[in-house]
Structure 1
């Protein structure tokens, strides 16, 4: 008999604010088994208060009130890791791997919060280093047919379909050709050559963008909207929250959705949860 494992990811933009505004009402209805969070921006006590009864792993940023990632689960994790890359990579509060044993198989779930970046500034240098470290880690996570999924706010719109106003953002962090080239390499079948968005060529790492595979070549569905103007009401959004799966896990996907809030007034974060069902 098969079972469904539901994994959701969301940038909460502060766990305390999200809890006040309606996180738990959504969570009660969503029936999630594993929940990954980004921009927690709080202490362990705030996670415990928001998610009573859950197994919680967390990694806080060195700077209080910034970043922070967590993995909350109904299943008890068997192992976890925090480091990404060497000491030159600032990954505190931005990368958390958790292992779970499910029906005799190990599943690795990553909560990732990539730097926002800013073109031609030191902030972008941090982002390049982080993306480079991910490019090293992804093949390791996928080795030997492993079941793994990298979830979270990756702060890059991969294709023109992923940003409503892509023409106005080609020189801005989040849609720079060099940023998109990382995704070109990550999401091309393993070992296959790929012509990247920045004009370089590379070799595919074989990961699968679950949302794009499930929805096909359609705009979005977007997962983040600026607080400015009428971006949410007009659905002028970005698809920057992902679940990237290894091929064996991607074959188990039975459903994918973005839980866009019903209205601007009902939002409890400026992102929308990305929810995926996997069959085991």
Structure 2
């Protein structure tokens, strides 16, 4: 990567909803794409096939964004994508495990001299088959990340990991110790992954601080009280992490300005 590059990630909670949300007020995903300084944007939970995705993002594509996507195998669920201001040199769908090849949860692109991944982990549910599926996906992603690390190429995997790593990553951690997303084995898995060399660059920028959160339930006063979760990560290879010059969690100023239950997390790699 020869120049500074800004990468952003956001779970859109449905691409068509994110595009339509607050459109009358010139808010939503499309105005954000017009204004963002990001060179690459990772999207999760698009819940759309390729035709629907291209249709929803047509104004952005007309403005010069390039689009790659991994569509969900179940209609209306999952789906990840990457938008880039520069063309793609490579696109890879899936993390190498046949079970998840068409689940629309993992997408890698090579662009502007960098490998960028958009990943959407299953939510899981403690002590159920859904949790076992999540753990199989976690294992598959670890294997792929080991390959990337060994390749020596600068890379960052962005997305909704559906795991809050530490007590600083969830406001109500005491009430969630037995729930998926904050289970001891999930947190240990992330600790082990980070010990291999990958760097949580948002936490690197905010050591020891609560948050910054990037997901809040639509229900109740979670957003107003900042009772959120930090589950949207940039995990970067060591050399790339050392180039971070700024980190921004783009929390809306008010509940009424939200166009997803997540907000963008944007990092400049200088």
How far off its partner does 1:89 sit?
4.0
Structure 2 residue corresponding to 1:230, chosen from 197, 221, 244: 221
Conservation of the 8 A alpha-carbon contact between 1:91 and 1:130: no
2-side partners of 1:135 and 1:110: how far apart?
Answer: 13
5+ long unaligned stretches in structure 1: 189-204
TM-score, normalisation: structure 1: 0.89
Retained in 2: the 8 A contact 1:15–1:47? yes
For residues 278 and 251 of structure 1, the distance between their equivalents in structure 2, rounded to whole angstroms, comes to 8
CA shift digits 1:3-37 (9 cap, x unpaired)? 42110000000111101121122222212110110
Q: Residue deviations 1:80-125, cap 9 Å, x none? A: 11122332346621000101243xxxx1100000000000111101
Asked if 1:269 is matched to 2:260, the reply is yes
Tell me which stretches of 4 or more aligned residues in structure 1 moved more than 6 Å.
none
Verify: 1:155 aligned to 2:146, yes or no. Answer: no
Aligned to 2:186: 179
After superposition, where does 1:93-108 map in structure 2 within 5 Å?
Answer: 93-102=104-113, 107-108=114-115
Shift, 1:231, TM fit: 0.2
1:62–1:54 Cα change, 3 Å: same
Provide the alpha-carbon RMSD of the alignment.
1.3
Cα distance in 2, alignment partners of residues 137 and 211 from structure 1? 22
* Alpha carbons 1:146, 1:248 under 8 Å: kept: no
TM-score (norm 2): 0.92
Does the Cα contact within 8 Å between 1:84 and 1:91 map onto a contact in 2? no
Q: Secondary structure in 1 aligned to 2:99?
A: coil
| Structure 2 runs not aligned, ≥5 long | 22-27
Q: Could you say which residue in structure 2 is the equivalent of 1:220? A: 211
Match of 2:10 in 1: 10
Structure-2 residue corresponding to 1:55: 66
2:40 pairs with 16, 19, 34, which one?
A: 34
Q: Which residue of 2 aligns with 1:195?
A: none
The Cα of 1:150 is off from its aligned counterpart by: 0.5
